[in-house]
Copies of this chain bind each other. A is one copy, B any other.
Amino acid sequence: HFGIWKKGGRLFSALVAMNILLLGCSLITSGSLKEVPIHESEVLVYLSVLMSLSILWMCFQMFFTNKHHDSVLFKDCHAGPIWLRGGLLFFGICSILLDGLKIGYYVGYITCVSSLLIIYPVIQLVFVIVQTQFLWMSSKHCVQIHQNLTRCGLMLVLATNLAVWMTTVTDESSHLTRELLEHLKHNYTDDENFTLESSIEDETEQKTDCECNSVCHLLKEAYYYLYPFSLEFSLFACAMTYVMWKNVGRLMDDNIESPHHLKLSSYRQIPFAGLACGVVILFLGLVLFVVYELQLKDKHRRAQVLLTFYTFHVICLSLMSIGALAGSIIYKYDKRQMDNQKNPSRTLDVALLLLATIGQYCISYYSIVAMVASDPRDPLKTLTLIYSLLMIIQHSLQNVFITEGLHRQLPEDWPRQHMASLHPPKNESHGLTTGSHHCPVNVPGTRKLSRSARLSKRLSVVSIKAALSTPISTHRKRRRLLREICVFMLMGNILLWILPAFGARLRFDNHLEVKFYGLPTWVLITNICLPFGIFYRMHAAACLVELLLLP
């Protein structure tokens, strides 16, 4: 058989992953619905089986890779950069902490709960440790032997992570919805006409039979704050596994050793202005968040604190939009050539950015429709409308900015490199050297100069001549400005990740959309879309870190 046709193996493993995932999806959604006779235990058994299989495969793969030195001949230096692996490690440690707290919590109730509730976090603990180890070691590998088995294994790990992510999202959403319902029930029984189902108590009923000291409750309080980190761990692991999957069977040259990006960039100046603005925004946002959470329950101050928080969001989003717009404009004047090399990590980054945008777009459009259709004379309604519009604008501009940035070639001593690419050394068999930035060129991915490339060369000679006439210092200034913008936007995205991830639900607290769509519909819309919105922020932050570390 011909080993070149990767699509067959990919198709099979993708089908395996789809099946695992959709079975998981149907179990998880059924488990979360109260009227369906599927309970948490079935879901946990399914996930435990998946995680055990993943652990076994990862151990086998690590053992096998260590033993057979020809199983990994090539490495993709774009994959698994140090900051991504560092992030994975950090979120992994938080996940381990979460699992530890969960074990402690359920051990407190050991007499009256199913032992499955203790076994599950133990398995998850092992899974997180093994996976962090596995991805740290082999995220750059381009596996060459047992390709189809490896693809299936990686897809199993990917599907397991996504299933775990879905479960955690469902768990957290139902927790927040329950809190919200309790809040609404206490405050708005008469004066508002919400249709509240009396389905809040049955969750806590089970626990009342049990006895536990106050430590249990504290543990539960604590571990809800670790959920956002656990969610990010699953998503980081998914992204790294996907890139490994794409790299299975890829042939590339790794004669050139690649130094880490971090080392290179640490010599450069720190963008102080952007950092200062970003830290101010971040600090202000966090203070306002605490004030908001504390005062929201106070009926008299409620309107005031909502208006303040909305105004802060509007200002923050406006500044970030202006930053992204300015960045895009600077890129327009930047005559660097685009890097069109094959790069699975980057393609994934851009695709995920676009897909995750859908979540926040969706909520915003629903909100806009509601605000426009109802009478918009209320200041809170106007603010909500502006907030939703700015959300859409900011997401769009930021996507354009990040995509443009990720596709730029190396600016460092750029004209020299560029000229070299126009006259590539004939004896090099593996294509263009232009886009190599500290990295082995990937052989099968790069295309040799075809007719259109030659045409573009002629075009670019003209533009290089133009570019060389402007002094290098202009380029330096532009680049510094871009780095300032990047840092500011990074801080902004981290802030806008923290706020919803740790429970600020502006779209619920204003009671506007809830009234328009009715509680069940709005809960459904936000519970589906918000996780993607939160993921978008973290992913955008990761992309901005990458932009920042690019020399």
Using a CB–CB cutoff of 8 Å, the interface residues on chain A facing chain B are 1-5, 7-8, 11-12, 14-15, 18-19, 22-23, 25-27, 30, 33, 35-38, 42, 251, 332, 337-338, 340, 350, 354, 357-358, 361-362, 365-366, 368-370, 373-374, 392, 396, 399-400, 403-404, 407, 429-431, 443-444, 446-448, 450-453, 455-456, 459-460, 463, 516-518, 521
Contact = CB atoms under 8 A, between A and B. Distances in A.
Nearest to A12: B400
Contacts of A42: 373
A128 B439 CA distance: 51
A354 B14 contact: yes
Nearest 5 CB-CB pairs, A to B? Answer: A5-B338, A26-B365, A448-B448, A444-B452, A26-B366
Given A251-B451, A447-B447, A365 B5 contact: no
Given A8-B403, A11-B400, A23-B368, 11 more contacts: A3-B456, A8-B400, A18-B358, A19-B396, A23-B365, A30-B370, A33-B518, A36-B517, A37-B374, A37-B516, A429-B451
Given A8-B404, A399-B15, A35 B518 contact: yes
Nearest to A1: B332
Contacts of A407: 5, 7
A519 to B, nearest CB: 10
Contacts of A337: 2
A288 to B, nearest CB: 29
Given A451-B444, A521-B36, A366 B30 contact: yes
A11 B4 CA distance: 31
Contacts of A463: 2
A4 to B, nearest CB: 5
Contacts of A361: 18-19, 22
A404 B1 CA distance: 13
A18 B443 CA distance: 35
A517 B33 contact: yes
A362 B22 contact: yes
A396 B15 contact: yes
A337 B12 CA distance: 19
A349 to B, nearest CB: 12
Contact of A369 (B38, B338, B369): B38
B451 A448 contact: no
How many copies altogether? 2
A15 to B, nearest CB: 5
A25 B366 CA distance: 9
A4 B36 contact: no
A497 to B, nearest CB: 22
Contact of A456 (B2, B23, B370): B2
A26 B521 contact: no
Contacts of A36: 516-518, 521
Given A8-B404, A30-B369, A450 B443 contact: yes
Contacts of A429: 450-451
Contacts of A455: 251
A361 to B, nearest CB: 5
Contacts of A396: 15, 19
Contacts of A4: 338, 340, 452-453, 456, 459
A397 to B, nearest CB: 10
| Listed residue (A1, A22, A404) with the most chain B CB atoms within 10 angstroms of its CB | A22
Contact of A459 (B2, B251, B451, B460): B2
A445 to B, nearest CB: 9
A30 B517 contact: yes
B26 A362 contact: yes
Given A35-B518, A459-B2, A452 B447 contact: no
A451 B253 CA distance: 10
Q: Which of A18, A400, A460, A463 has the most CB of B within 10 A?
A: A18
A38 B518 CA distance: 13
A372 to B, nearest CB: 10
B365 A25 contact: yes
A403 B13 CA distance: 14
Most chain B beta-carbon contacts within 10 A, residue among A358, A366, A374: A366
Given A365-B22, A369-B30, A396-B15, A446 B450 contact: yes
A444 B340 CA distance: 12
Contact of A452 (B350, B443, B518): B443
23 contacts: A1-B332, A3-B459, A4-B340, A4-B452, A4-B453, A8-B403, A11-B399, A19-B361, A22-B365, A25-B365, A26-B366, A26-B368, A30-B370, A35-B517, A35-B518, A36-B516, A37-B374, A42-B373, A430-B450, A430-B451, A443-B450, A447-B447, A448-B450
Contacts of A11: 350, 354, 399-400, 403
A350 B7 CA distance: 10
A142 to B, nearest CB: 12
A183 B539 CA distance: 49
A38 B373 contact: yes
A183 B11 CA distance: 42
